[in-house]
Amino acid sequence: MLITVETAVKVRKKRAVEQLTKKDLSEKLGIKSQTLTKVETGNYDAPRRIYQSVMDWLIDDL
């Protein structure tokens, strides 16, 4: 499942607003820091579990 550049920007913005380090957010999402870097870069073809955890975290704002 593709994490687009637009989604990556939303992840970076929310992480900044919540003042989370990459380590904190990666632990919260259950992924490695290196994977979070790929997510925040965008155009990342993520496995379903990673995609779902990122989307669930973003949806928490709604």
Query: What range does the domain containing 7 cover?
Result: 2-59
Per-residue pLDDT of the chain (62 residues; tens, 9 = 90+): 999 999 999 999 999 999 999 999 999 999 999 999 999 999 999 999 999 999 999 998 65
Beta strand 2-3 pairing with 44-45: antiparallel
Q: Residue 35 maps to which CATH number?
A: 1.10.260.40
Hey, which bits of 1-62 come out as E strands?
2-3, 44-45
Give the helix/strand (H/E) hosting 57: helix 48-59
Domain count, the chain: 1
Q: Is the dihedral of CA 6, 2, 62, 32 positive or negative?
A: negative
Give the global pTM.
0.91
